[in-house]
Structure 1
Amino acid sequence: MADNDRDNRPSPDALLAEAQKETRGRLKIFLGAAPGVGKTYAMLETAHERQREGVDVVIGVVETHGRKETERLVRDLPALPSRIVDYRGRPFQEMDLEAILARRPRIVLVDELAHTNVPGSRHIKRYQDVEDILTAGIDVYSTLNIQHLESLNDVIERIAGIKVRETLPDSVLATADEIEMIDLPPEDLLKRLAEGKVYVPEQARRAVSNFFSAGNLTALREMALRHAAERVDAQMLNYRRAHAISGPWPTRERIIVCIGDDTASARLVRTAKRVAERRSAPWMAVYVETSRHGGLDEPQKDRIAQTMRLAEQLGGETVTLQGEDVAAEVVAFARERNASQIVVGRPRRRAWWRLPAATSVTRRILAKSEDFDVLLVGGEDTERSPRTFETKAPEQAWTWTSYLIAAIGVAAATGLGFVIDLWLPVPNISVAFLVAVMLIAMRLGRGAAVFASVASFLSFNFFFTEPRFSFAISDSQNILTIVFFLIAAIIVSNLASRVQVQVDATKTSARRTANLYEFSRKIAAGATRDDVLWAVVHHVAATIRGKSLVLLPDEGRLSIAAGYPPEDELGDKDAGAADWTWANGRPSGRGSTTLPAADWLFLPLKTARGPIGVLGMQMAGQEQLTPEDSRLLETLADQAAVAIERTILVADVEAARLAAETDRLRSALLSSLSHDLRTPLVSILGAASSLINYGDALEAKDRRDLAGTIQDEAERLNRFVQNLLDMTKLGSGALKPNADWADLNDVVRAAVDRSGKLLKGRQIKVDIDAGMPLLRLDSILMEQVFFNLLDNACKYSPPGSQVTIWARTSKDLALIEVCDQGAGIPEADRERVFDMFYRVEATDKQTAGTGLGLAICRGIVEAHDGTIKAEPGLHGAGTCIVIHLPLGAPPTLDSNETAGV
């Protein structure tokens, strides 16, 4: 009953969490796979339902994106006015957090939880504003797309080819009190997109080509459903803990396999793996470490370690529990993890004379697990895992000297008994013998303690019971005293020796854990492969108090990658042993059963992908590894293999990225050369050929037109070559600004005059603050920047539209914008347009260009310690290239210099 009462009590963490929720607002997130599935619409409909129930609901911020159905729902709900934030000389609307906290509604609607606030707001991200609202005790309804989770950022980029800029930590979703999944099949979403219910037609066409493909939407939908299911499962577990519900709720299959020190454990693990794989369920291998663990022989300890390692290799989670009742610990753990099935081995036959307390673990689990399915795995696993290298036998826990010391201890207790006998009754003398037995048990072990118990019994009987100096007992009361003394002495000796075994096991476990922790910390801190290898060899050498090295494959053969102390080469015997370990994946060398004549012992470094190298070690002198050291080194080898594989994977990913980038640049360069060199050359050749062949027959006007064509195309070709040269100089660092104080108006006017032919048919508006101070810059290079920006604006904006150059000052920066009225740049491409040879795909036709203009602009601006980025134009129309340049204090002329002028 005590165990049941304990299981039915809520945990302290659950009680604390519930107490905190009492004063905190509740967060409900409407989660969707992609924009347009109806998250905001569902949130507004739910808000209307709560409003009809009499709940005070207000709108903090809701983005309708021009959707009529959404706008109709917004009109019927009270909304707090937005806060106007001035940024870069323009007003932006943001949610008014202060107004919400002052108004204190029951529920506030906050759309787009991952939104980034305009600089100047209280917080950088909107979810931080929501945290303040929840802390104030106000409930929040919000919306979120799955691609905005930080942990999925790289996955989304691989799937959709788009880098999501606005993200939030996964913990925000994990702390939500309620999640409502808004699901829409990809076919229906694409239909809504085509009907203009998600974006305006122009944006919809770009969305379909870039993000809204059936494959992308299906992958996003799967991730959203999976995260929602995991969150619901976590909420269910928290509910069970908070309400002290002991029984498991089998909402999801979870399998636990109970392993021991017998040879059948490997069979149990493989069976659990197959069962879990068929059911697509997570599974765990559990071992309960009792006080008898320290008394296991080395083969048994090895089997436990190898079984746990096998479970990890098969993809299971491994857990080690501490306790005396194996069955109770396993069942309690199964309840805690909400397991649905426990896998155990068939109980062995017990001798008829065994006590009921010796009932097998399997039978006790069956008796306690009425809430679980228990799978009994039959058969005896006859395969044994022989040690692949020899270890030093553990020292005997006791010798004949232990019994001699025990006898001396009993003699000392007898002498103390004579002293006690002078003042106290006979029964009190037994305390001296019990203390001696307990001390002997703690220091010398169980055997010596039992010997001391019997010796104390005889000594107590001979010297202190009547008649004295005889083993006969005349008083019946003394018979009970002496018998109970013997029983108490044996019990005390067993308890004391068991405690000592547990203490020794705890010390060993603590040393092993500390060693593994220190090793994990060192290899985790290694950024490169050399750092990891150095950490491995240094730690292994310190562990064995000898030498160590790591051999990795290089051009088809093993070579020494790192060693401590540094080692350049191995002898023939050692090299042969290392090659054998690499080829067969098993230990070899000194102390092993394979090639024992070698001076080094070699362990394979293996991961799930296969062998990656060999770990070598050499003990000092003729020492051999202890069994505990051998198991520790095997674990270190596994961790080292994973760490080395991590660095290899990082290098492979970087090499693949560089190769892909090289291929992209090569393709872009070939495309640019074929288009931007060939096109003007064809025009020049055609015009020149016409002049040569038909010059006399052509009128003067036609000849001028052909000559103008030659000039225009030659200038176009010259600009292309100049861009290539400038990009080459920027890449090599040869392009250095020759900075001097200059008037921005003069630089802009020079660029406008130079772009005269490009600006034909377009309006140019220059709006530079009259108080703009002189800027320290290279006038020629900055003129090239503005020329490239004007050229770019003309290419991507319709004839007759306006191109604006706007400049103001703000604190210590000059803010400059070059804006057009074209189709604009998609959000996903606004950063990539500054890459070499990258061009945004036009929606109607391919616009001529090399993809170098903006890359050159960024290189020149950054050389002036400035920044450049692309932003949407006013009301989302067109594109603004925004430049920030540092302001300085221009030199002033004193009166003498002015007079000289």
Structure 2
Amino acid sequence: MDEQRPDPEQLLRQIDADEAQSKRGRLKIFFGACAGVGKTYAMLAAAKNLSKEGIAPLIGIIETHGRTETEALTRGLRRLPLREFKHRGRVLRELDLDEALAFAVADPRTLLLVDELAHSNAPGSRHPKRWQDVVELLDAGIDVWTTMNVQHLEHLNDIVSGITGIRIWETVPDHLFDAAEEVVVIDLPPDELIERLNLGKIYLPKQAEVAARNFFRKGNLLALRELALRRAADRIDNEMLAYRRHNTISRIWPNRESLLVCIGDHDGDGQIVRSSARLAAKLGVGWHVVHVETPRSTRISDANQEPIRAALRLADELGAKTTSLTAQRVAPALVRYAHENNLSRLVLGRRPRRWLRLRALADELAAEGGDLDILQIAHTGPKRPQAKQQQRTFLPIIGPARGYWVALAACGGVTLATHPLAATLKPTNIVMIFLLAVVVVALRHGRGPALLAAVSGVASFDFFFVPPYYTFAVADTRYYVATFLVMLIVALVIGQLTAGLKLQAETSRASERRMQSLYEMSRALSAALLPEQVAEISARFITAEFGAKSALLTADDQGHLGVLEGATAHVDMAVAQWSFEHAQPAGKGTGTLYTSPCLVLPLKATMRLRGALVIESAELRPFDPEQRRVLDTCASLLAISIERIHYIDVARNATVQMESERTRNSLLSAISHELRTPLSAMIGLAEALEWADPEDRMRQRELARAISDSARRMNTMANNLLDLARLESGVVRLNLQWQPLEETIGSAVSACRSLLGERRIDISLPADLPLLPFDAVLIERVIVNLLENAAKYTPEGTQIDISAGKGDTVVTLSVCDHGPGLPPGREHLIFEKFERGRPDGSPPGVGLGLAFCRAVMHTHGGVIQARDRKGGGTCFELEFPRQAPPPGSRSTGSREVEDV
């Protein structure tokens, strides 16, 4: 039977994944080697056939490139209107994402056709790339059909550029390609494709001539075709593995040759790796290299573990997928890994059988996995010296002396505790207590101390609890077999199993700690808003996890790297720049610039390279493959974080530009309107003055006064603009002086008397109003603006109230009118630039006066607020921070006060 009982946890994970997948739309990709193979044509033809079955596909966007056959297939299919963008004098048409989402809400069975997945959207679109639009559509539950070429896959981009000599800038992340429910390969032989190009069925004649000399050379087309077919085959292989895991199929399917190479603790494993690499290249198959850590691995010294790490690094450099497993026995772990990954052929070195091993590893593998082909490679290298073998085998068993002293102490303690009870306890009970001591010693101190505890426990039991007592002689010989031998074997087995469980627990804890560290790092990176914060987080993680120094480098627009703050490692810029430019690791432990003391990893994000990570370790040996995988994961997280911060800056700059554009348009609109009215009035008045009766002095004065009022209005508007700009830029230096507030109020009322007309001013100020430090000129203009604002919204003959009050920390000045009041919800908006009290724009004004008032109060450390007045009207309240006046200043109204 192929099927096994499924793992409950795996079944629950699969149910959750299926449920999440059911809520997403389904993606189907028509995939080809290059343009012109017929991807769009095939997609439209399939859509036509689907429409005959009652499903009406919707064209989101189709790029026909003037091909009449393709255009003909679009007839009869529903089309979504395109969204237009103006860019550099041209009108660009793109997929209307909002319209597509709205259409899908109305029709949940919508199938959307979106051509050219790798296309770059026009500036101003929601997403920079069309594939991001497709992801949003899939998240909304919309099924999408699309097209793409092999050169647009992110991880093949450099390979395609090296083959064709042309850099491809539009790429699609591989995870989106792998997540597609279906990929249809559209294949066309190179000769037929070139013929179609010559006939003008792909590009216009002039474009076709250029393409034939460059991209569409036959050698390029052959290489691209092979890449496309191989990538499609890899995807099918991944689908097959997913199907096997989903259905818990363990038997190996020999549908494709594949190699599994086992690395042991022998010096000749480098030879095994190289021989396996040659075999994999000859067969043209993928290969995995695995090292299994068992309880016996704990007895191997660090010096003898270095060949294992070197072999794994070599395999990684030669293109293998390397993995380290932890298990009690090697054979079951290898067979299980082969079944999980459908690897049909296992390669291992021919090793001498140890005297304690009943069967060779190859025999165990043959018994455990009958469907595996096993290849043994002879070790032709030099043998290790016997002394080194003894050092490797026995010295690590001795290990620290503390564990052995604990073993002796444990047996002694059990003996002292049970000896007084020997008359009441049966021998079997005493044996169980000794076995418990062996378990505890094995759990805390490993196999060697457990072995000593077992032997000393048997000796203590014989000496103190078996007659004749206090001698190793035994009266009943049955004790030798029935008790001593069984007790010793059981103790040794328990010690072995406990030590193995301890190793597995330690390995699990190390893996859990590593995953927890990566989780904490990713969570911290998700909250980072600056590249310097990312550099600090990465340095903290690498120091905690590896005890190494690090530096984070980011690239500018020209591709030059720069070191971020917080770097602790010495950076060799030549190595870092090479790694960044070639998108490959360099430095220590790699095959490039390996003499460098640092390891440099390029930061590959979704869109492009973002920089490099430099790690400087104090250890002489390079990082092992497991550590490299953790570092690669760390580099991926850093790259994604830096790219996220980059796009946050892009979005922020775009928002600032949009706001600046909006402000500029509002300013031009408001100023053009407000300037036109007084200018028209001034022109009319000037013409009337020109034709006025020279003898009519009264008429001339009236016209001159009207011209002056219009000019004053324009001057006020210009002053508000200039002063507001100066205040917001921070270039204004306040002339702060201690002075009474009532004098500034009086000056402001006198300055705008002509504008107030018949309106009455009621001023109510307390006699003990304290002196305040402020710039009299600016505060006077604030009060003038408030009075002018009151005059705009109140009729002639009404009253404007000015009052003041003092508190413990602030002094409040209020200007209240009896006008219509503020519209609900605009109490704060009226202080924004170009905002008016009434949305309809009446009475006339630019909307800068109150913004100027807020800016002035802000520079004084105060605030301005607006509220509706009880009984009708509006009140503006200015709050000044109250301070103790300097010695010698007066509390009465006088301008002769000291400077701050």
Please classify the TM superposition score into its range, dividing by the shorter chain length. Answer: 0.5 to 0.7
Determine if the alignment matches structure 1 residue 45 to structure 2 residue 45. yes
Is residue 10–residue 244 contact of structure 1 (8 Å, CA) maintained in 2?
no
1:478-627 matched pairs, under 5 angstroms:
485-496=487-498, 518=545, 522=549, 525-526=552-553, 607-608=590-591, 612=595
CA contact (8 A) 2:451 2:492 kept: yes
Cα separation, 1, equivalents of 2:509 and 2:27: 46
Deviation at 1:290?
A: 0.5
- 1:258 corresponds, among 255, 262, 273, to 262
What CA distance in whole angstroms lies between the structure 2 residues aligned with 1:113 and 1:347? 53
Comparing 176-185 with 465-474, greater Cα deviation is found at 465-474
From 282, 285, 309, give the equivalent of 1:281. Answer: 285
SS of the residue corresponding to residue 142 of structure 1 reads strand
- One of 322, 325, 345 as aligned partner of 2:349: 345
Classify 1:452/1:320 alpha carbon distance in 2 versus 1 (closer, same or farther; 3 Å).
closer
8 Å CA contact 1:295, 1:501 repeated in 2: no
Please state whether the residue corresponding to 1:358 is helix, strand or coil. coil
**1:94 is the counterpart of 2:95:** yes
Q: 1:33 aligns to what? A: 33
| Distance in 1 separating the partners of 2:47 and 2:380 | 63
Please state how far the C-alpha of 1:34 moved relative to its aligned partner.
2.7
1:46 and 1:419 map into 2 onto residues whose CA distance is: 90
Closer, same or farther in 2 for the Cα pair 1:37/1:477, shift >3 Å?
closer
1:880 aligns with: none
1:99 is displaced (CA, Å) by: 1.7
TM score, norm. by length of structure 1: 0.53
Aligned equivalent of 2:112: 108
Determine helix, strand or coil for the equivalent of 1:633.
coil
Residue-by-residue CA offset, 1:572-606 (whole Å, 9 max, x unaligned):
xxxxxxxxxxxxxxxxxxxxxxxxxxxxxxxx967
Q: State how 1:130-209 maps to structure 2 within 5 Å.
A: 130-153=134-157, 164-205=168-209, 207-208=211-212
How far off its partner does 1:144 sit? 1.5
Q: Secondary structure at the match of 2:620?
A: helix
Counterpart code for 2:358: A
Letter in 2 for 1:172: L
Distance 1:307 1:7, change over 3 A: farther
SS in 2 for 1:181: strand
Are residues 772 and 236 of structure 1, via their aligned partners in 2, closer, same or farther at CA, if it must alter by over 3 Å?
farther
After superposition, the C-alpha distances for 1:797-821 in whole angstroms (9 at most, x for unaligned) are xxxxxxxxxxxxxxxxxxxxxxxxx
Q: 1:153 to 1:436 in 2, by over 3 A?
A: closer
Cα deviation for residue 522 of structure 1 reads 4.8
Partner residue in 2 for 1:410: 411
Contact 1:9–1:244 at 8 Å: present in 2 too? Answer: no
Give the counterpart letter for 2:194 in structure 1: L
In 1: Cα distance, 2:478 partner to 2:225 partner: 85
Offset of 1:41 from its aligned partner? Answer: 0.9
Matches of 2:673 and 2:93 in 1, distance apart? 24
639 and 771 in structure 1: CA distance in 2 versus 1, 3 angstrom threshold: farther
Q: 2:375 aligns to what SS in structure 1?
A: strand
Distance 2:489 2:27 in 1: 64
CA RMSD, 1 decimal: 5.5
1:434 maps to: 435
How does 1:224-235 map onto structure 2 within 5 Å? 224-235=228-239
Query: Structure 2-normalised TM-score?
Result: 0.53
Query: Aligned letter for 1:375?
Result: L
1:79 — aligned with what? Answer: 78
Give CA-to-partner distance per residue, 1:318-375, whole Å, 9 cap, x none.
3221112211211222223332321123464576xx6xx7211111112333333322
Change (3 A) 1:430 1:158: closer
Residues 383, 437 of structure 1: alpha-carbon distance in 2 compared, 3 angstrom cutoff: closer
The answer to whether the 8 A contact 1:437-1:449 is kept is: yes
Residue 252 of structure 1, CA deviation = 3.6
Shift of 1:292: 0.3
How far did residue 43 of structure 1 move? 0.7
- 2:621 aligned counterpart, secondary structure: helix
Q: Residues of 2 paired with 1:86 and 1:443: CA distance?
A: 71
Q: Deviations over 1:142-164 (max 9, x none)?
A: 11133333444555555556554
Shift of the 168–772 alpha-carbon distance from structure 1 to 2, 3 Å rule, reads: farther
Alignment of 1:501-900 (within 5 A): 518=545, 522=549, 525-526=552-553, 607-608=590-591, 612=595, 633-635=620-622
Deviations 1:791-842 (A, max 9, x none): xxxxxxxxxxxxxxxxxxxxxxxxxxxxxxxxxxxxxxxxxxxxxxxxxxxx
CA shift digits 1:193-225 (9 cap, x unpaired): 333322344544455466544454444434333
* Alpha-carbon distance between aligned partners in 2 of 1:93 and 1:550, rounded to the nearest angstrom: 45
- For 2:387 and 2:474, locate their aligned partners in 1 and report how far apart those are by CA, in whole Å: 55
Residues 1:376 and 2:359 aligned together: no
Q: Distance in 2 between matches of 1:72 and 1:405?
A: 87
* AA in 1 matched with 2:273: V
For the structure 1 residues 522 and 334, does the alpha-carbon distance in structure 2 shift closer, same or farther, using more than 3 Å as the test?
Answer: farther
Once the two structures are TM-superposed, the CA of residue 398 in structure 1 deviates from its matched residue by 5.8
**Alpha carbons of structure 1 residues 631 and 505: separation in structure 2 relative to 1, 3 Å:** farther
CA contact (8 A) 1:82 1:93 kept: no
Q: 1:53 to 1:288 in 2, by over 3 A?
A: same
Q: Give the 3 Å change call, closer, same or farther, for CA 286–405 of structure 1 in structure 2.
A: closer
Q: Indicate how the Cα distance of structure 1 residues 469 and 479 shifts in structure 2: closer, same or farther if over 3 A, else same.
A: farther
Contact 1:266–1:307 (8 Å) recurs in 2: yes
Q: Is the 8 A contact 1:397 1:445 kept in 2?
A: no
**Secondary structure of 1:288's partner?**
strand
Q: What amino acid maps onto 1:635 in structure 2?
A: P
* C-alpha contact (below 8 Å) 2:589/2:623 kept by paired residues: no
Match of 2:897 in 1: none
* Matching of residue 247 in structure 1 with residue 251 in structure 2: yes
Given that 1:341 and 1:375 are in contact with CA atoms closer than 8 Å, whether structure 2 keeps it comes out as: yes
What's the secondary structure of 1:634's corresponding residue? coil
2:709 equivalent in structure 1: none
Structure 1 pair 177–450 and aligned structure 2 pair: CA distance change class (3 A): closer
Structure 1 pair 43–424 and aligned structure 2 pair: CA distance change class (3 A):
same
Deviation at 1:270, TM superposition (A): 2.7
Q: 1:235-270 CA deviation, whole Å, 9 max, x = no partner?
A: 222222223222333444322222212344333223
- Structure-2 separation of matches of 1:772 and 1:162: 54
Shift, 1:44, TM fit: 1.3
1:331–1:15 Cα change, 3 Å: farther
Tell me the distance in 1 between the aligned counterparts of 2:626 and 2:460.
Answer: 56
| Structure 1 unpaired stretches of 5+ | 539-548, 554-603, 616-629, 643-769, 775-887, 895-901
The answer as to 2:51 corresponding to 1:64 is no
Does the CA contact (< 8 Å) of 2:589 and 2:622 recur in 1? no
The aligned counterpart of 2:821 is none
Larger CA deviation: 65-74 vs 421-430? 421-430
- For the Cα contact (< 8 Å) 1:551–1:614, is it kept in 2? no
Residues 1:171 and 1:367: Cα distance change in structure 2 (over 3 Å): same
Contact 1:284 1:316 in 2 (8 A): yes
Once residues 145 and 363 of structure 2 are traced to their aligned partners in structure 1, the CA distance between those partners, rounded to angstroms, is 51
Do 2:551 and 2:563's aligned partners in 1 also have CA atoms closer than 8 Å?
no
Task: Flag the 1:394–1:487 CA change in 2: closer, same or farther, 3 A.
Answer: closer
Query: How far, CA to CA, are the matches of 1:51 and 1:32 in structure 2?
Result: 24
Letter in 2 for 1:416: A
CA positional deviation for 1:4: 5.7
Q: Write the distance in 1 (CA, Å) between the matches of 2:133 and 2:597.
A: 53
Q: CA deviation at 1:3?
A: 11
Deviation at 1:417, TM superposition (A): 1.3
